[in-house]
Structure 1
Amino acid sequence: MAKLAGVSSATISRAFTADSLIKPETRARILALADEHGYRPNAMARSLNMSQSRLVALVVNTVANPAEGEGLDQLVHRLQARERMPLLLCCANHEDRNQLMRIASAYRVDHVVLYSDAVSIDDATDIFRSATLVVASSEPLEGRAVSDVRLDASAATRQVVDRLVDIGRRHFVYLSGRSSSHIDKQRMSWFSEALEAHSLAFDIVEHGDYSYDSGYKEAVLLLRRSRPDVIVCANDLMAIGVKDAASLLNIRVPEDLAIVGHDGVALANWEAHSITTIMPLEGMVSAALAEIIDRDPSAPAVQRVVDCVVRWARSTPELPR
């Protein structure tokens, strides 16, 4: 290819690297010649030569959850734009998650983004020994020297609680997701602390599984035996289920019942749902990408904190004028 194009082999290599310095017209001419002659660089050979595979393992629970799916969609597209190839591992329904990670580690991935709270940091670190681990699952680090991206919704949570208490709401219920979820425990803790500042606490804590069905079913059972005036849900899907359950029982939202979700998924912002939700100010995607693209692998591990904000909607009352 270098002889055909009349350039050096290094220039050929740069033409196939998205962020390399090369004149646009030179790149276009080389790529046109490559198409004409059916030439493609060998990524495996390239990885051996450069000691980089440019593979990024994304360890998630499931892509069926809109919160995970929407974030992954952004991350995958941005990785691809920087010529990093994502290797997706869905762990939720996989019996041997460690074996799944061992299979992925055989591809010598450069980075691992740990979204799943079903996989321990220690297991991921032990299996992906040659890769840089980026934790985004909110599992406590407890002194581990790994890069960490986590949410801080404490201020946004106080804003929600202060507003609802100011308009007279006193009976709060929390609908949790999986008991093993670290971020769920953190979210409930933030709300408990905000309520404690008003000498209040959750009347009841119910348990769902992050699905719409669990939000709907648990809310029907709850609302038939008690009348809370606020239900806080661990995610937006359950919050939508709670809203539909309230409609079934002729409970007015937000006049009789305020509903708050988490994650800020697009579905919650649809006109039919309009759920007040606590969401990242800037996606964890940007923070994780910075760890993958910008940080020197030899540099010390860092923690990046992503603040959250409230996206107000019609599932909570407006402040009195």
Structure 2
Amino acid sequence: MADVARLANVSSQTVSRVSNGHTNVDAATRERVIECMRTLGYRPNGAARALKSGRFHTIGVIMFTLETFGNVRTLDAIAMEAARADYSVTLIPIANPTSSQVSGAFSRLSEAAVDGVVIIFEAHLLDDAKFTLPPGIPVVVIDSGAGSGYTVVDTDQALGARQATEHLLALGHRQVWHIAGPPASFSANHRMDAWRRTLEDAGITPPEVRHGDWSTESGYREGLVLGARPEVTAIFAANDQMALGAMRALHELGRDIPADVSVVGFDDMEEARSFWPPLTTVRQDFAEVGRLCIRKLLDKMDGGTGADGAATVATRLVVRASTAAVREPVRG
């Protein structure tokens, strides 16, 4: 800093103001200081700035998998919102969310000097893990089933599943079959429970649930089972990838979509509109989840009280060509 000040013929205090983004520096002086910084290869010392401000301007993210569409979109939204707030993101993926894995992830984040942590995996794994959250580090969980002990942000899973099921019933389908996500997933269970309650509220006994693992292949496997049954006219898949797999199975079985079977997904991934036919699905606003998550975390870091409790982001049904009114059988 002293070298930059000498070369620019300004005080070290002026260099400090420029490097910290303060506005009380003449524009011409600022440009001269920045040019001298480039000439000398000067970069502000992050550790020194953190000691002075008490902030590292880094947010840690712990997540279980990068294989699902929802997790990738959520991480992207968090990173973009953090960047807008002048924070960087340190990602710690964990292969298996066991007690030791989660504890190790927090240890690595502590060593990386973060100001706050976002957790993107099932909250019950936190409860099962035999460890305590590091004192003084604010935490926000993205999970719909975390409970009152955590600051939570998530999509309204139940609303989305109800929208999907009610849409199919409104088209005249007398039954809606469901390809659910993994049994251990809170999101999958919330969607499944809402699907079941919607059918029961309509006076319909829910059929047996088919479970996938979020993958296209699992949707294909369950689609072969459901598509072989002529009474199946409506399928709600718990995510778009399983819906795509189910649609492939239906095509192979000679079942027309939507004339024979209507299909609804969940997520509204970018490719959903390019499925054939284009997929009716439930849109999750991942960008808003990321924004709320970072806002709540920054509020907690600033000692605010408005960050506690849960915040849910509403879903929206996007109707495309994969659903249609039920076709009544031709009577001779």
Q: Deviations over 1:59-88 (max 9, x none)?
A: 222222222212222322332343312111
Structure 1 residues 66 and 51, CA, compared in 2 at 3 Å: closer, same or farther? same
* Partners of 1:267 and 1:126 in 2: CA distance: 40
One-letter amino acid of the structure 2 residue matched with residue 290 of structure 1 = R
Equivalent in the alignment of 1:212: 216
* Partners of 2:53 and 2:31 in 1: CA distance: 24
The answer to whether structure 1 residue 277 and structure 2 residue 315 are counterparts is: no
* Partners of 1:269 and 1:25 in 2: CA distance: 51
One-letter amino acid of the structure 2 residue matched with residue 126 of structure 1 = T
Structure 1 residues 199 and 15, CA, compared in 2 at 3 Å: closer, same or farther? farther
**Within-5 A mapping of 1:1-321:** 1-7=4-10, 9=12, 11-17=14-20, 20-21=22-23, 27-93=30-96, 96-98=100-102, 99-117=104-122, 120-122=125-127, 123=129, 126-141=132-147, 143-144=148-149, 146-225=150-229, 227-272=231-276, 274-281=278-285, 283-294=288-299, 297-300=302-305, 301-317=308-324
Q: Tell me by how many angstroms 1:159 deviates.
A: 3.6
Q: Tell me by how many angstroms 1:296 deviates.
A: 5.1
Q: Which ranges in structure 2 are unaligned for 5 or more consecutive residues?
A: 328-332
Structure 1 residues 255 and 82, CA, compared in 2 at 3 Å: closer, same or farther? same
Q: What SS does the aligned partner of 1:283 have? A: helix
One-letter amino acid of the structure 2 residue matched with residue 216 of structure 1 = Y
Structure 1 residues 150 and 78, CA, compared in 2 at 3 Å: closer, same or farther? closer
Q: What SS does the aligned partner of 2:314 have? A: strand
Q: Tell me by how many angstroms 1:179 deviates.
A: 1.4
Q: How many matched pairs?
A: 317
CA contact (8 A) 2:143 2:154 kept: yes
Q: Tell me by how many angstroms 1:198 deviates.
A: 0.7
Q: Deviations over 1:13-40 (max 9, x none)?
A: 443446x545666554433221110101
Structure 1 residues 22 and 197, CA, compared in 2 at 3 Å: closer, same or farther? farther
Structure 1 residues 247 and 8, CA, compared in 2 at 3 Å: closer, same or farther? farther
Q: What SS does the aligned partner of 1:259 have? A: strand
* Partners of 2:59 and 2:209 in 1: CA distance: 38
Structure 1 residues 233 and 30, CA, compared in 2 at 3 Å: closer, same or farther? farther
* Partners of 2:124 and 2:90 in 1: CA distance: 16
CA contact (8 A) 1:54 1:85 kept: yes
CA contact (8 A) 1:17 1:83 kept: no
Larger radius of gyration: 2
What's the TM-score once normalised by structure 2's chain length?
A: 0.84
**Aligned residues with identical type, % of pairs:** 26
Q: What SS does the aligned partner of 1:149 have? A: strand
Q: Tell me by how many angstroms 1:116 deviates.
A: 1.3
CA contact (8 A) 2:165 2:236 kept: no
* Partners of 2:23 and 2:130 in 1: CA distance: 36
One-letter amino acid of the structure 2 residue matched with residue 191 of structure 1 = W
Structure 1 residues 147 and 94, CA, compared in 2 at 3 Å: closer, same or farther? closer
CA contact (8 A) 1:178 1:210 kept: yes
CA contact (8 A) 2:280 2:320 kept: yes
Structure 1 residues 169 and 15, CA, compared in 2 at 3 Å: closer, same or farther? farther
Equivalent in the alignment of 2:330: none
Structure 1 residues 29 and 191, CA, compared in 2 at 3 Å: closer, same or farther? farther
CA contact (8 A) 1:172 1:201 kept: no
* Partners of 1:200 and 1:6 in 2: CA distance: 81
What's the TM-score once normalised by structure 1's chain length?
A: 0.86
